[in-house]
Amino acid sequence: MQRIEHIYIDGEFVTPHGLEWFDLYNPSTEEVIGQVRLGDEHDAQRAIAAAKAALPAWSRTTREERLAALRRMHQAIATRQDALMEAIVKEYGAPVTRGRWMATYPADVIAQAIETLESFEFEEHVGIARVILTPVGVAGLITPWNSNAGFICNKLAAALAAGCTAVIKPSEMSALQTQIVIEALHEAGLPKGVFNIVNGRGDVVGEAIARHPDVAKISFTGSSAVGQHLVATGAATMKRVTLELGGKSPTIVLDDADFASIMPLVLNAGFMNSGQACIAGTRILVPRSRLAQFERAVKDALSQFKSGDPRDPETAIGPMVSAKQWERVQNYIRIGIDEGATVLAGGEGRPDGLQAGWFVKPTIFTNATNQMRIAREEIFGPVLTVIAYEDEADAIAIANDTRYGLNAIVLGRDVERCERVARQIDSGRVLINTLAHEPRAPFGGFKLSGLGREMGRWGMTAYLEPKALLKA
């Protein structure tokens, strides 16, 4: 059993002032596999003070100095892909195919930040003014459990590239990944205090960061409820905020779609990351005239999506991350049934043959309306809702009738028509006949899905304040 007893402040592994030990679980077996000692408010304050002290020097570093530091970070993280992979499967339960992507992503996002910094314009002329983009200050970075190492590296690389220093509050449930990232970043030899990492509870360490006047910016990935809370809390010190929050993304199947060819994409979009993905396509909008045909096709295709042991290469869907998350998903399945939707496949309980582990049956509801809770609320598990629409205008209206707007998928044979539909969807990203990812493009959401954007030059700009300089 692994015991993680240090946090990282001012370039050193230190024992937290906080005394609480938090259990880490293997969600495939429900066994405790480790313990992490959590920091408290006092630790958060020490970390913020270290980041504040490191800010003047780091904010004045040249592009070349920052690039050199980011390249060392990239190298150190890239050599730990196997260890990250093991931690991701063990503490999160990602199926190996997904886990492999998640283990390479942390190094990839640092490489993206390097590419962005290489060509980033920090100054431009506007009329008689010179506009200088200056680092906003100390950044508080808060990450969720569903891709902890990747989010730490993405946020930190963008913040450092912009000239900010950082205090990171990772997900307390993903301490094995965090530990690997800390060791790699320590090895990268960045100046003391430039980044600090404090394991801790959200309502203790996260809250201390969100309230502290010396933190100028919060970049948060997590639930919409906590995101809203952070905006309200940050208002007192006028914090800049970037929020990557939840979703209830539509997959719009147009009436000319070839069901056989789109079905893997429909299900991969819905079940990605075992359904625990902010961008998962969980509302599947299908033309009413072809509903019965779609139901048959989706049921057939579902037999290819095995839920079970994440180490089995055949597995598409691993366990839910925690008992709480498993209960939450089970509850939503009951809610869907109570609301009168039809269970086309799956349902309550574990998949056949599995006695332990927080595994869920991949579940598809049909005969659902967009007003049902299973169509409106983020379930964060492998539970999809098929909703029939009458015509293209109705499909667009249903797609947009949501509190969220993170991702959408449009599927059809006529690509021009797909694009016409895509342009009418209120969403930070719309994918047409693909699940491709473009890391240079901005990522973020409309409405309750977030505020601001990450990735590429948009992501870096979020850590900068424009200053207009005018001379006589």
Q: Which residues bind ligand NAD (CB under 6 A)?
A: 142-146, 169, 171-172, 202-203, 206-207, 210, 221-223, 226, 229, 244-247, 278, 378, 380, 406, 445, 450
The residue behind tokens 């050193």 is 12
Separation between Cα atoms, residue 15 and residue 313, nearest integer Å: 39
Nearer to ligand NAD, 99 or 450 (CB): 450
Cβ 449 to ligand NAD shortest distance, Å = 6
Side chain identity at 63, as an amino acid letter?
R
454: DSSP letter? B
Q: And the tokens for 67?
A: 């690039």
Helix (H, G, I), strand (E, B) or coil at 237: coil
Active-site option among 207, 278, 295, 454: 278
- The residue among 431, 370, 410 whose CA lies nearest residue 256 is 410
Active-site option among 244, 295, 378, 454: 244
Hey, how many other C-beta atoms are within 10 angstroms of the C-beta on 40?
18
Nearer to ligand NAD, 90 or 453 (CB): 453
Q: What is the DSSP track for 37-105?
A: EPP-HHHHHHHHHHHHHHHHHHHT--HHHHHHHHHHHHHHHHTTHHHHHHHHHHHT---HHHHHHHHHH
- Based on the residue annotation, tell me whether 339 is a catalytic residue of this protein: no
- Based on the residue annotation, tell me whether 65 is a catalytic residue of this protein: no
Nearer to ligand NAD, 193 or 234 (CB): 234
Cβ 20 to ligand NAD shortest distance, Å = 13
Separation between Cα atoms, residue 159 and residue 138, nearest integer Å: 9
Nearer to ligand NAD, 141 or 418 (CB): 141
Q: And the tokens for 423?
A: 């342009």
Separation between Cα atoms, residue 280 and residue 249, nearest integer Å: 6
Cβ 211 to ligand NAD shortest distance, Å = 9
- The residue among 99, 384, 109, 141 whose CA lies nearest residue 242 is 141
Separation between Cα atoms, residue 328 and residue 369, nearest integer Å: 21
- Cα–Cα–Cα angle for 454, 459, 462, rounded to 5 degrees: 110
Question: How far are the Cα atoms of 61, 417, 445, 455 from residue 120, in angstroms, in the given order?
Answer: 15, 35, 23, 13
Cβ 434 to ligand NAD shortest distance, Å = 19
Nearer to ligand NAD, 3 or 437 (CB): 437
Dihedral angle at the C-alpha atoms of 188, 199, 278, 151, nearest 10 degrees? -10
Cβ 294 to ligand NAD shortest distance, Å = 26
Cβ 97 to ligand NAD shortest distance, Å = 19
SS3 assignment for 159-184: HHHHCCEEEEECCHHHHHHHHHHHHH
Nearer to ligand NAD, 180 or 209 (CB): 209
Cβ 22 to ligand NAD shortest distance, Å = 11
Separation between Cα atoms, residue 279 and residue 416, nearest integer Å: 24
- Provide the sign of the torsion angle of the four alpha carbons 390, 394, 398, 401, taken in this order: negative
Side chain identity at 365, as an amino acid letter?
F
Which amino acids are annotated catalytic? 244, 278
